[in-house]
Every structure is written in C-alpha cells, then in structure tokens.
Structure 1
Amino acid sequence: MKTKIHVIAHTHWDYEWYFTSSESFIQLCYHIDEVIKALEDGVLDYYMLDGQMSIVEDYLEVHPDKQQILQSLIAAGKLKVGPWYTQSDQMIIRGESLVRNLQLGIESGDALGGADRLGYIPDAFGQSMDMPKIFSQFAIDKAVFWRGLSSDQLNTREFYWQSEDGSNLLTYNIKDGYFVGVQLIEVDYAKPLLEQIKQNTTSSHIALPVGGDQRYVDFNLKERIAHYNEQLTDDHFIESNYDHLFAGIEKEAKDLPTVQGELLNAEVSKIHRSIYSSRYDHKYLNDKIERRLIFQIEPLMSLADQLGIPYKQALIDKIWKLTLRNHAHDSAGGCNSDKTNQAILQRFIEADQLSYSVVDYLTRKISESRNNVKNNQVTIFNTLPIIREQVITIALSLPETSFSIYHGEQKLDYDIRNITKHSNAPIRKTIDPAPASYYYEIEIALPVKLQPLGYEVLDIVLEEDRMETVPASEKQEVTPNTIENEYYQVQVKNGSVHVLDKESNTLYPNFLLVEDAGDDGDNYDYSQPENDWKLQFKFDTASVSSNPGTWKSTLKLNGNFVVPKNQHEREQGTATALIPYTCTIGLEAHKQAVDIHLKINNQAMDHRMRLLINGGVNTEESIADTPFGTISRPVTDPNFKHWLEKGWKEEPTGIYPMLSFVQLHDQQKSVTAFTKGIKEYEIIGSKEKDIALTLFRAVGYLGKPDLKRRPGVASGNQFKYIETPDSQLLKSLTFKVSVRIGRTCNQACAFADYQKYAMSIPYYQQQSLNQFTNTLKYFVMQPLPFQVPETYSLVDATNVKQVVFSSCKKARQSKGMILRFFNPTNQAMEDGGELTCKENVRFWQFTTMEEKLDKSNQRSSQTIHLGSFKPKEVKTIYIEFK
C-alpha cells in the first residue's frame, strides 16, 4: 500500500506578536484576496485559514463585497474556517471563555457556509486535559495540535485524546510543527522530508501542513507536488485537507492508543511553562473581566430579562470579542512587543469599562424600578444561583453617621470600617464663605443572607441609635497587632506573620514571606541568572496598624522591600531599589480563610517576586483547577532529571499554571490558596511543602537565546533582540490572595469557596448626595414603565451536591436560559442534587455547550434533578420559562 502524504495548504495567522494586529491586518487584506483568487482559479483545491474567525471578521469589515464569494468557497468545502473565534491559550483561560470562543467562532463560520468542525490548535503552549470534552460538546470529534506531547506519554502521532468523562477525539499530532511542509516548496529532495514526517506514524495517511506565520499563498503548490511525486515509488503526495486525512486514518481501522491528561511537555517543541507570570498586569485585568462577564453580567442580564429588561446578546458579544482577542496564545501569554502589549492593554481597559458599566446600569435600573423605592435603600444583587450567607463590605453616602440597617424586620449589626467627609457644594476657585453642605461616605462591613440569583433590599434609617446585636461576651479582646475570628488568629510579631489554626491548634510561623530573585529570562520564560542572589523578606521593617471589628478585622503593614535595582547590582551583592508595599491581612466572621491584599510599586528590573505561603504539608503532589475540573501534578516532574541529555527544548520545571486556586493536602492538614489574577505556582520545600505564588516577573526582552532553563535559539524572533522596557512593570501592582487552612480537602467546596471569595456582590444605593458612586450615577435614568418586585429570586441551586456552578446566561439561539455545572473530581457521582425554579417553567432539558435543543427530551417540572455525573463530566441545562 502506498503511503499518502496529505499536503494541506494553510496559513498560521498570529493575531499579534512582535507586530500589532493593525500592522498584520494590512497583509491580511491582501492575503485573503490571494486565497480567494487561488481557489477560484483552481490554483489550489483547498485552503485553511488557521481555524479562527476573527481574521475573517476583520477582512469582511473592509471587504463586505467579498462575503458572497467567501460563503460559496466555504460552503463548497474549499476554504476551511473556524471553529475558534481566536486561537486561544488553554492553560490560563477560563473554561467558559473557551466555550464563548467556540460559540462565537462556530456561529460566525456557520453563517458563512459552515465552520470547520475540527479541533485545530496549531500553536497553543500546551493542551488542557479538558479540551476533548469541550470539543465533543460542539460535535467536534477530531483534533490536530502541535505542542505538549512527549514520548513518555505516547510515541505515535495518531491516537484518541480522551477526557475523564469518556469524551474521545481522534487526534493527529503534527509534532514537526505546522510549518514543516514549507520544505516541499523550498527543498528539492523528498527523502529527508519523508523520513521526518513518517517518524512515529502508524497510518499510511500522513499530514504535511504547508504554511507558516502570516505566510503567503504558495501558487506553485501543484507543481511542487508533481516534482516530488516524480521521485517516489512507494509514497504519493496529494493535495488534501484534514477531512480527507482523517477519513483515510479511520478507514484503516487501526487499534489506536488513548491519551488522557494535560499535554504540557517540551520534548519536541517549547512550551513556556513560566509564561503564566509574564505581564502580570494583563493577567490581572483579564481575570477580573472574565469573572465579571461570567459570574456577574451574564447572570444579571438573565435576571433582568425575566424582569422585562431585554437581554442584549450583541452587547455581551462585543465585550467578549474584545476579551477573546486578548486570549490568542501570544496575546494571553504577554510574549509580545511593547507596542503590541499596549494595544492588548487598551482592549482590556475598554472591556473593563464596558463590563463595569453594564453592571452599574442594570443594578440601578432594577433598583429604581422597584415598587416601593425609598431614599437610602440599598439593593443587593446575588448573581450566583446559591444562597450566599457571608460578610460583605459596602460604601454608603449619607448626610449623617448615625443610622440603623434593616433587612425586612431584622435589624442588622455592622462594623464601620472608614468614614470620609465630603463637600457637596459646587467647586469654585475662591472659597465661598457661605456654609457648605456635606455628606459622609461610610464604608461598612455587615453579615447578609442573600437568596439565590436575585436581589434584596436593605433599609437605612437615619437618626436612630445603633443597636449592638452581638453580645459583648462573644466579642474578641483586642490585642495589639493581632486579629482573629472563630477559625484563626493572625499576629504580626517581630516582623513575622504567624497564623494559628484554632481548629487543630496548629501554629504556622512565618506564614507569609516575599521572595525576590533575579530573572535572566524574557517574556516567554523565567530563567535563573548564573550569579543569582535570592532574598526573602518578612515584614520586619513594616509599620503595623489594626482595624478590628465584629464582622471584619484587618492588619495593615506598610514598608519597603529593598532589592537590587538591576542584574548588575544583584551580581555585585548590592541593593538600592526601594519597593514600597502595603499588605492588608483580613479575617471575616464565619469565614475559614485569611485574606491577603498586597500592593507594591515595583522599582526594580530583571527580577521575579513570589509570595511564599508556609503550609508545611507533607505531600509530593499539588491540585490546581483547570477549565472544567482539577488536576493533580507531581511536585517534581518525572522528566526533570534527564531533560538535557534527552534533548528537550526546555526544562520541565515544577512551575505550573492555575486558574483560581492551588491546593496541598496530606493526612493531617490541607492548605488552599485562592487568587484573583495570579496564574502561576510552584511547590517548594524538601519534606514539608509550601506554596510559592509568582506575583510577577520583570524582564526587558521579547526573546533571548541560550537561557539556563531554555537552551538554544531565542523564542519569538530568532534574529534580533527586541527590547520590551514596558515588561519591566515599573509601576503599581495589586495582588489578591485568600488562604484556607483546615484538616480536609474537598474540591467542589474549594470551587464554592472561591466563588464566594472572588465574585463581588453588586449593589446600588438610592441617594442623590453623591453623584459619583460610579461613572453612570451622574446621568439621569428613566425607571421602567412598569414596576419590578421588591425582592426577587429566579433559580435556586443551593441543593446541588458536590458539583460546581459554571455558568448562567441566556441561550444564544433560543429564548430560554442556560445553567451549567460540572463534577470537578475523578470520581463518578450518583446524585448531583437539584435546582428549583422560582418562575413557572414551560420546559427544561439537558443540552450541550453548543445549546442545540432536542424536543423529544423536554420536561416541565419546577424541580430539575441533575442526576449522576461521570468523572469530570459537564452538564448544561436549558430552561424556558412561561
């Protein structure tokens, strides 16, 4: 049987990199013109536009006259587009973002004749363990990727890629890269190329992708195929596409191996396992925007839709598209030129402002349209479908500082955290001797119990004596530099932060340390300098102040870290750079977590700072969250010892990605670190292990050659040093971490704890004293022509069992609502619990991430039983209300 070499013409279109998307857009306009001409004239039979629709969307924006010809080429199967909107990173991007990416890409591709149903990932820096089940839910059963698979995992190119829930993809690994076929055009001899691409193949059908980064159309492809075929007897080159390749592989019906787990090894290609801390400022903003879109805007708009405020899908898509363009693998990694990173940052700022304003508008619109509006009332919104019973912090604008708070008939106790007096008089150049009017901005902490997916109202009553609702016997005595709740005592003593776990009576001395080390790397990778000088900081130079309270208590530490200003100083063993910091450590009543809020002003270059959490856990593995589950990773990679002699492209370091949390546990204790924006961790220590969270890396080049951890040519552009002074991050940075110490480890509870910690509670106060509580407050607003209920709750998922809430939004193509849950563990679950709908249900049914409905599977009960879950299974529910 002759071997068939499937020659696949394509381009890999990095959305941006050392160039901006605006710069590459000019080439894109002419490139797609060439593609159209080549396909229309029969110069090419097929062409692949990199599996992403954002570039097609950009092209059609200025070439709307080409839509019909593109549509005919796509419908005929000649031009392959989609299924992605952008070629997304998978390691630090949330699962729901990946879902929106595919939803937008497939919808856009289908509208133009049919998105390619191929899980095409030519250049992402590693493959998430969850991709098979995500692709499968979009009716994608085949995949192609390049990076991450090593020979100790699998030594063949054709295999089944499987998620723990049983989702299977027939997969082809282009281990030589998406550019390997350029040799067909540029080299005259077939034998070396055939030897390369045949290695580790089991099928007689072999892929030869002919394309490269922003590569032009090879108009002589047919001629070059004929030239190669003249040299061959046992092999035959054919112009083809991945549909034909997989059809050939399937026809042979070979018994192919199966691979599970993440693919994050750098044996055949670089993987950049420390890119997760490059351009931390971008990652912090991205995390905030993702959280707001998924856990605030989409649920809030769904809630508003039920109340009569139309769901604006196009508006949400606008914000998603801005964000998804920053999820392209280079964009998300931050491995770009400064001018490109400036464009990325601007998109983040725009998405942040848009998303923030959506929340502001809807909370105000609903609040001011209630049927019993009173001055100073506060409407509080719970955008999670579970009861939230926790302490919240809100800011009130009031004419005086004496007031009481009522939740219905219940009078609530609260802590006053801060009071600021403001003038309400118009500003003038000269001081008006007339008495000015004033108001007070008062920050308070108070306990609330909020019904799921809805809103409730607090009444603020002025000129009333405040009632203490907590007996004095239950209050803690105030000790200098010490705060505590029922779970922990936190004390700053001699500059060290000590935490006492009251439940187990275990003391964690030096619980928090800050490590500063040199970084000889680039925007892709951390690399330890040859002559490094690592520093560890307690907080012994800090001034400490405490703000104790019944419901929330904080310690504030202000000081300076003194570090080497640059690599030269580090090599000399001198340190002259002052990095000012404020570290606020907080405890809340009834919350089993220590909250840490660190602000620094970075004034040093070429260094890495990490927060060390002294967990002292006896373990050899960590657990971190993934797009739709959790993963257990070894503290020391099994390939670490011999990677150099085996010729790996980079060190298989113990540095790993995370989305929201990392967890250590043994038989005696469990330590979990939740983060907002920090995406990288390493487990350190000999016997007892601690968590090292990478705060940020400050480096000055896009790519550098011959790094200690990554030998060989530079990543990125191999022929020129591209300076990136902005990536030194000489500016203020904010880091937010919450640490839970306990005896047990429960992964579903970890997700629930994270959501309560990280998803802020929107609120709106009915008042006219302060027109600047948010940007939109200054504008007048018309209430709805009808009144909405005084309080409201739409869906209650409080009784789900050990599964994780993932999404609540309106269905894209139908008028119902989507709710999604997943099992985060490797264990099957017999009963996931139930949802209760508060509005009358027309029907509900299980669906997929693609949200297609099956009329034969519809039910009409108010209670929705989730049923059993396979290991790591994701379930999506469609609900249509009457």
Structure 2
Amino acid sequence: MKTAHIISHTHWDREWYLPFETHRHLLVKLMDTLMDTLERDPEFRSFHLDGQTIILDDYLAIRPDRKERLARHIAEGRIVIGPWYVLQDEFLTSSEANVRNLQYGHRDAAKYGALCKIGYFPDSFGNMGQAPQLLLQAGIDTAVFGRGVTPTGFNNTVGEPGEYESPYSEMMWQSPDGSGVLGILFANWYCNGMEVPTDPEAAKAYWDAKLSGAGKYASTPHLLFMNGCDHQPVQTDLSEAIRTAEKLYPDVSFVHSNFEDYVKAVKESLPADLSVIRGELRSQRTAGWYTLVNTASSRIYLKQMNHRVQTLLEKVAEPLAAFASSLGHPYPGHWLEYGWKTLMQNHPHDSICGCSVDEVHREMVTRFEKSGQVAENIVGDSLQAIVSHVDTSKFAEYGDGGAHPFVVFNTSGWVRSGTVSVELTIERKYFSAGAPDRLARELKAKPLPAGSLVDDRGAAVPHTLEDLGVQFGYDLPEDRFRQPYMGRKIRLTFHASGVPSLGYRSFAWVTGISAAVASGSGCEPVAASGRGLENRYLKVEIENDGSLTVTEKTSGLVFAGLGILEDTGDVGNEYIYKQTADGATVTTKGQAADIRLIEDAGYRASFEIVHRMDIPVSADERLQTEIEEMTPFTMREAGRSQETVRMDIRVTVRLEAEGRGVLVSAAFDNKAKDHRLRMLVPTDAVTAVHRADSIFEVAQRDTEPAAEWNNPSNCQHQHAFAGVYDDARGMTVANHGLQEYEVLRDGRSTIAVTLLRSTAELGDWGVFHTPEAQCLRACTAELCLIPHAGGGEEHAYAAYEEAYRYQIPWQTVQTEAAAGTLPSVHSFFEWSGKAMAFSSLKLSEESGDWMVRWFNMSGSERNLRCLASGANGFYKSGVLEDRREAIEVEGSAASLAVRGSEIVTLGVSFA
C-alpha cells in the first residue's frame, strides 16, 4: 500500500521580488493564520517552517505578544523549526559562514526545546560537496534538496528518469571524505502537494496526476507531497482535502505528515540499489542553462562587501577575541552573534546571489556596513587588550627622542611576510591644553623629527614615510568623558618579514636614534626597470598591450599573455549570462596601453597600466522589447548597440619583496549596460580538470562539461582561488570577492575571472526591472596571480596557502613603550601539517575552550600537529563544538592523523 505523506510548509524567501518589509508583512499574516489553524483544527498536525529560525525573529519583532503561543506550538511539534538560521546560498558564503549558520540555527531552536534534524536545502542554487560531512558532524543523517542532481528547467519542469544521475528521488550522498547521508530530492519540486482540492471531481484529476508524478521517482511506497511553495499561505482546509482524497483512493494512505515521520518510513523501505552521488551537486548533467551559477557575478559589489565582512569576522575578530580572552578580556560572544546574524541576513540565496529587486540590495549594503562596524569594534577592543600585555619597553632604548611602538598582527594560519602600512600619531595636544586652532598651529609649526623604523631586534627597517600633517582625533575612555585632541600623524609603509601565524611582531618609530639601532634589516629588494619587475621568485614583463609575461624563476616556467581584458554583451538576467546574438567582443589584446612606473620602494614596486576601451553603451533596442514580452532569454536576438562609451581601466601591477604572486588590481567607472567584463589568465596547462576553493575543500572539476551541456558558457563558483596544473606547470589565481570564473576550452586552459556583469532584469517568473543591477558605478577588482611548477599536488598546495594568506588583512595597533607579560614577537597557537588548510579559531561560549578548525586539502591521510602554550587538553569536536574523544598530549603539543578531505575541529582547553 502506498502512503502519501503531505507536509505543509511555505518556502519563505525573506526578500526577493518584493523588499524585506513587504515580505514580512505577508509573513505575519501567514503566521497568524497558521496558529489560528493549528488551534481550530486538531487534524492539521504540523507545519514545517522552512528550516530557518530567522522566521521566528522576523515574526516576533512585529508580534512579541505571540511568543508564548508560538513556543507552545513548537514544543508540541506542530510548528517544526531549524536546523539553519537562514537558507543560505552555500557556494556564495564562506565555509565558516555555513558553519555559523548551522550553529546559530541550532542555538536558536534550542531555546524552544525542539529542533528538526534534517539537512534542509530546498532551493539552494547547487549544493556544497562537504554537506554530508558537515551534517553528520551535527548529528544529521538525512538531507533534502531541490537542485543539483535533477535537470530543473524553467518553472521547475523536469526531464525523464534516464537523464538523471539517480533513477530515484532517494539516493546516498557522499562527501569527498566518504561521509554519507541519505539524500532526498524534491524530484517534483517542493510544491507538488500545494493547493489540494476539496471538491471530489477536482481532487480526482489532481491526485491522478500527482500520485503518478511522485511514483515516477520514488524508490519506496512512501510518496512525498510538499503542501506549499514560495510564500505560499497556509491551506486552511487541508484536513477536508485529505478526507476527500481518502474517499477517492482507498488503496492509498493519506497522512498529514512531517519530515521526521516521512524519513523514518522511507528508511525502513529503501531498496538495495540506491545510487551513490559524490561531492558537489551542481547540475552538471543538464543543458547548462539553469544551474544559476551566474548569480556569482550578479552585483559583484555585494560579493566583495560580503568577502570583506565575513573575513573580518571569522579570520580576524574571532581569533583576536579568543587571544584577548586568554589574557582576561571578556569574550564578546554577544557582539559576535549580532555581527554574524546581521551578516547572515544577507546570505539567503535571493539576497547574496544578487537576484532580487533593487530595494533588497540597497538594504543589504546597510547590513554589510553594520556587520562590518561590529567586526571592526571587536577587532579594535581585542587588539588594545592584547597589546596592553606586550612588552615593548626595549624600544625606549633605540631612540633618545622618543619611541612610538606598534604591533603587526597576522591572523592567518601561516607565517606571513608582506607590505604593511600603519598610521601613527607621534604627538598629541588635547583640547584641555588650549583652543584647538592654536594647538593645530603649534603642532604644524614643529618640524617633523628625524627618525627610523626599527623591528623587535632593534634593526632599522627600510620604509616609506608620509607626513599626514595635523589631524583631529579623540579618545573614548571607559571611565571619563571623551577626550578630543589635535595630533601630528605619519604613515609608514614597509616590509614585515616572518610575522608568526596567529600571532604578531612588534615595531617602533623612534626619533633621536641611539647607537643601539642596528642596520641591515630588511629583505632582498624588488628590482624595477623599463617595464619589468623582479624579486627572488618572479620576473614580470609588461607588454605593449598591458598583458604580462611572468617567469617563475625557481622552475624557469614562463606564462605569457596574462591579464588581457575581454568584454562581451549580456542579454540574460540576474541569474543567467547569455551573450548577445552578434557575439560582439571587445578586447585589450593587441591594443596599446599606457604604462608607467608608479612605485619603486625596494620592498615593493608597482606599474600602472591604463586600457582605453570603447564599450557598446548597451544592448540594442530589441532587448527591452524581448524583456517586456518575456521572450525566453535563450531565444533572444538582441545584439550590442553601435554607440560606444569610453571606459578607462586602470590596472595596477605590484610585486612585493618576498611575494610569490603578482598582485593585480583594476579600477574603472562602469558607464555601459548589458555587458560582462573578464580578466583572462592563460595557464597553458594540458589537463582535463582544474581546481577551485569551495566549502571546506579544494574541489576538482571537469573543464569539459558533460555531453548534455549545450550552454556555450561553463562558469563556476570559487572562493579564494581557481587553479590549473599539469605535470609541468601550474597557475593559481586568487581573488578578493570575485566569485565567478571559467576555465576556457581554448587550448590554453585560460582562467577567466569575471570582474563585472551588468544586467537589466531580475528574470525568473515575471518582468522585474532592476536598473541598479547594471552596476553603473565605480568598480574595483583585486587578484593575485600565483605561478608554480607542476608535477604534483605539493606545488599546488603551496600556491593555495599563498592564496589563503592573501585573503586576510594585516592588523596594526599603536601602543606605548612599556613592560608586559607577552614577548615582542609571539604566536598564540602553532601548528603544522602538509596539505592542511587552516579555517578558524574561536572560543566556545559553552565550554570556554578554543575551537580550532582545518580541512585536509588532499585526498590522502595527513598528520596535524598543534602547540598551544598553557593548554592542558586537546579533544576532537564536531562543527557544533561538542566534546568528543580526547587527543594524547606531549607537553603542550598534540598530534593526530587526519583522513583525506576530513574537516577536523580541535577543542583546546586551558582550565
């Protein structure tokens, strides 16, 4: 006998084709109706609240008087919540953001005493390959999802069973490490049980079709019917509709079900021939048009803001706050939660993907700014707490006229060297000493004293000094009223060498230099000559058209034609790139560029390259007609306008003293519409696969798409980098917030990174104009080109480490010359392990222990060794920061074997 499991739900896009507050207006109506229905109809058993606890916050902000009533229904299991805080886009949010989403979702659900342990991904635009491992670590053994395996087309149409990787809607889904969960696909989408008729005649037609459709894919007699859809109101007469169905189909058991009961029943009936699918679910066995991957390039400025803020939170604020807490400073867990939740309000798939109406994305900018301010405040407090313990007293010996110490922090997981800039106030006059204008004049009249930058060993450090003049400033003491002052400021730029991982190195600007200051500190300088740059690792030559020829000196490999810009027309939408029918392309290849040396400081040298591109001003007039008439984008015939607009693109090419990558940044004012701009980096590697930084893995992907694929474009998601290597050569291209790339099938394995995409409409199910998605604004893009030898994974891992370091900003803080309990150079946490990628270090508020996470970039077992001064215990944990098996300790060090592709979290206790 078949059982029809009817699960009532609504898929609640928090914001999309309507702005957030309009969606919330509808949400409050839905929740009010839901609770009325639950109390009126005891046969209406339960409602699945879309797997995201933020819905509760959004509702109770308007209806705080309903909290007790809501909590009662949750406790009784009639409103089902969790496990996420928001339904994120998995590929456009960082590894740690995905974990925080799970952590805060669990924490919020625990307040109500109930939690749905289902990995719920109803509408993610593809699914991360490590999801099964993450879910299992959180005690979840089943995932349900709507995309990634089945060909889902316009209006969620599907193909025939033979076209799928799995013949059933049920399958086993494995992560790269071998962790596996039961995967259940919404093969008939998550609306296949919506609006069930109560009228017998209509119900007969409805259920004949629905039962047949669900039976087409199910591997068991338990058929899933999702009673709801996007923002779908509650079906208040569902009980009557079920009674009607029961009369019509006596051989089918109709149950108003929930996921717990449905999954339990499915597991008891699974056949032995389930398919096993592995890794990322990106709809590669499809025509290639509806993977929605081009949301990675929609409104790139949002992705860049997200990159900045989530990096500040997870790679800077959290570790610094943990270090400060070990010194007695209170851990700001409440502020971190607020910062993360504010950021994650931008992480739902219709938000971070940039595929909503303009009002939505304007509000996102404000949230990014708010979350970034929270992170910066945590960082500032933590830095001050730490440096108050750092011993900087020795710097007083190096200057008879005074010492101005500062500390440079490296919160990456690796020892780091690079160019650092710091602003110092070398003299202050507080307003209590007189009128501000007089104080400013007095400071301005004083000549800037001669001085030197020295490191912790007292050696002079080559640097560039900028006099910033007299500026207003103020202190905000915790025990007094604000203290405004006028201050004399300078900026120092220099090469910081060998700053310990998860630690710091101290420096000082000293005046009246004493004999104690030694000379000779520094590094082998960068040579700049003609149109070339060179350090000990790389040689860069700039060609007439602004392209780069880079020699990797260790191997002698030469990489030519790097950095060409390519602009094409785009008549797609916020979801999907579609080149104009004329195929018109504008390129800088062979076009003379203006090239000039703009910096030659020894520790760093830079060239500016100016490309003057004439870009078609927009698509031609046919596009607007095609949009208004809802012409399918694959059938659009619009070309590019004959009218052009000049776009000057200023590319800066930098090489640092110990840099293994070429730093490239581009700045331009976009004045054209309906186009895409990319930077091309040919690798000349001969290989069928490439790799990209994804969620807790370096994902290997096929460069050539599947046979079913007919989209000319084959763009993919990335986080920190994309790379290609073969037996002879390799190139890794790192980026800051540029999340779309494509490895071209051009015979050169060129990595094409999208710098800008301008579109005119939202797309999807209606006509929603989005003029701000054209991104007519000042734009920037930052990349790092890291060439390396081929011949094996180890060369690539070194490049990946460089790419991960590149993501994280240096932190600097000025302090006083004073004694302290911490040394002038220090690492709070040391570790080693080939092919291990550091991910995060934070404090667990429940245990007070440090939680440190890595993932194994390789597919083979590796060894991880850790050392934390003062630690008295190490143990393995999961992503929810629970205590698992203890790890044997030698002194303050612990070692453990890490499986290939394993995500490993260590708890470090100090009490």
Correspondence 1:431-446 to 2 at 5 A: 439=488, 441-446=490-495
Name which of structure 1's ranges 621-630 and 182-191 shifts more when overlaid on structure 2: 182-191
**Counterpart residue number, 1:414:** 462
After superposition, give the CA deviation of every residue in 1:287-337 in whole Å (9 maximum; x if it has no partner).
Answer: 111111111000000011011111011100111001111110111110000
Q: Paired residue for 2:562?
A: 511
Of residues 193-202 and 400-409 in structure 1, the stretch that sits farther from structure 2 once superposed is 400-409
Output aligned runs, 1:285-296, within 5 Å.
285-296=305-316
Partner of 2:39: 40
User: Residue in 2 aligned with 1:566?
Assistant: 618
Q: Which residue of 1 aligns with 2:293?
A: 273
CA distance in 2 between partners of 1:816 and 1:470 (Å):
39
Shift of 1:233: 4.1
User: What corresponds to 1:796 in structure 2?
Assistant: 829
Q: For residues 228 and 382 of structure 1, what CA distance do their matches in structure 2 show?
A: 64
In the other structure, the counterpart of 2:579 is 528
For residues 284-683 of structure 1, what are the structure 2 equivalents within 5 Å?
Answer: 284-368=304-388, 370=390, 372=392, 375-396=403-424, 400=448, 402-416=450-464, 419-424=466-471, 439=488, 441-464=490-513, 469=520, 478-501=528-551, 502-538=553-589, 540-568=592-620, 571=639, 574-641=642-709, 643=710, 651=711, 653-683=713-743
1:109-161 per-position Cα deviation (integer Å, ceiling 9, x unaligned)? 11112121110111111111111111111101111111111344212111111
CA contact (8 A) 1:273 1:653 kept: no
Q: Letter of the 2:705 partner, please give it.
A: D
Structure 2: distance between partners of 1:858 and 1:683 = 42
Aligned to 2:435: none
Contact 2:528 2:534 in 1 (8 A): no
Question: How much does 1:588 deviate?
Answer: 1.3
8 Å CA contact 1:794–1:838 kept in 2: the answer is no
TM-score under structure 2 length normalisation: 0.86
Q: Residue 814 of structure 1 aligns with which residue?
A: 847
Name the aligned partner's letter for residue 797 of structure 1: E
Segments of 5+ residues of structure 2 without an aligned counterpart are: 151-162, 397-402, 427-446, 474-485, 622-637
Quick check: 1:731 aligned with 2:777? yes
Q: Does 1:763 align with 2:823?
A: no
- Measure the CA separation in 1 of the matches of 2:128 and 2:658: 36
CA distance in 2, matches of 1:872, 1:858: 20
Code of the aligned partner of 1:388: R
The letter of the residue matching 2:82 is G
Structure 1's 85 and 612: CA in aligned 2 closer, same or farther, altered over 3 A?
Answer: same
What is the alpha-carbon distance in structure 1 between the residues aligned to residue 449 and residue 689 of structure 2?
52
Asked if 2 retains the 8 angstrom alpha-carbon contact of 1:656 and 1:681, the reply is: yes
Contact 2:569/2:640, CA 8 A, preserved across alignment: no
Secondary structure of the residue aligned to 1:867 is: strand
Query: Separation in 1 of the partners of 2:744 and 2:87?
Result: 33
What CA distance in whole angstroms lies between the structure 1 residues aligned with 2:602 and 2:519?
A: 10
Change (3 A) 1:508 1:164: closer
For 1:199, the equivalent position in structure 2 comes to 216
Quote the residue 1:433 is aligned against.
none
Q: How does 1:206-221 map to 2 (within 5 A)?
A: 206-221=223-238
The residue number in structure 1 matching 2:632 is none
Q: Distance in 2 between matches of 1:477 and 1:382?
A: 26
CA distance in 2 between partners of 1:345 and 1:20 (Å): 14
1:393-438: CA deviation from partner (whole Å, max 9, x where unpaired): 444455737422222224143242x634424589xxxxxxxxxx99
Secondary structure of the 1:98 match is helix
8 Å CA contact 2:557–2:789 kept in 1: the answer is no
CA distance, structure 1, for counterparts of residue 491 and residue 110 of structure 2: 53
- Give the match for residue 181 of structure 2: 169
AA matched with 1:874: I
* 114-123 or 407-416, which deviates more: 407-416
SS of residue paired to 2:660 = coil
Following the alignment from structure 2 to structure 1, what is the Cα–Cα distance between the partners of residues 329 and 472? 36
| Deviation string, structure 1 residues 506-539 (Cα, Å, up to 9, x no partner) | 4333221010100001111111111231011147
Distance 1:158 1:111, change over 3 A: same
Counterpart in the other structure of 1:828: 860
Deviations 1:464-495 (A, max 9, x none): 499762799x6666422221111222222323
**Distance change (3 Å), C-alpha of 1:134 and 1:729:** same
Partner of 2:876: 846
Measure the CA separation in 2 of the matches of 1:500 and 1:214.
53
Measure, in 1, the Cα distance between the counterparts of 2:891 and 2:78.
48
* Secondary structure of residue in 1 paired with 2:572: coil
Residues 192-230 of structure 1, C-alpha deviation per residue, up to 9 Å, x if partnerless? 111111112110111101001111111111111121222
Counterpart-to-counterpart distance in 1, 2:855 and 2:781: 28
Alignment partners' CA distance in 2, 1:555 and 1:611: 17
Stretches of structure 1 that go unaligned for 5 or more consecutive residues are 427-436, 644-650, 704-714, 769-782
How much does 1:500 deviate? 3.2
- Opposite residue 178 of structure 2, the aligned amino acid is G
Q: Does the 8 Å contact 1:45/1:239 carry over to 2? A: yes
Report the equivalent of 2:868.
Answer: 837
CA distance in 1, matches of 2:334, 2:813: 25
Q: 1:706 maps to what in 2?
A: none
Describe the superposition over 1:249-295 as per-residue Cα deviations: whole angstroms up to 9, x where unpaired. 12225223321121111749933121110010000000111111111
1:18 is the counterpart of 2:35: no
> What RMSD, in angstroms, separates the aligned Cα atoms of the two structures?
2.7
Contact 1:60–1:66 at 8 Å: present in 2 too? Answer: yes
Q: In structure 2, the residue corresponding to 1:567 is in which secondary structure?
A: coil
**Distance (Å, rounded) in 2 between the aligned partners of 1:401 and 1:739:** 40
Change (3 A) 1:223 1:381: same
Aligned residue pairs total 828
Q: Report if the CA contact (8 A) 1:265-1:652 is conserved.
A: no
**Could you say which residue in structure 1 is the equivalent of 2:96?**
96
- For residues 903 and 528 of structure 2, the distance between their equivalents in structure 1, rounded to whole angstroms, comes to 47
AA aligned to 1:752 is: E
Percent identity over paired residues = 24
Cα distance in 1, alignment partners of residues 471 and 75 from structure 2 = 63
Equivalence map 1:119-198=2 (5 Å) = 119-150=119-150, 151-182=163-194, 184-185=196-197, 187-188=202-203, 189=205, 190-198=207-215
Whole-angstrom distance in 2 between the partners of 1:760 and 1:455? 13
CA distance in 2, matches of 1:477, 1:169: 55
| Partner SS, residue 663 of structure 1 | strand
User: Cα deviation per residue 1:834-876 (whole Å; 9 max; x = unaligned)?
Assistant: 101112x23221111111224x737665444342222211111
Distance in 1 separating the partners of 2:217 and 2:606: 59
Say which SS state the counterpart of residue 304 (structure 2) adopts: helix
After TM superposition, the structure 1 = structure 2 runs for residues 248-259 of structure 1, keeping only pairs within 5 Å, are: 248-255=265-272, 256-259=274-277
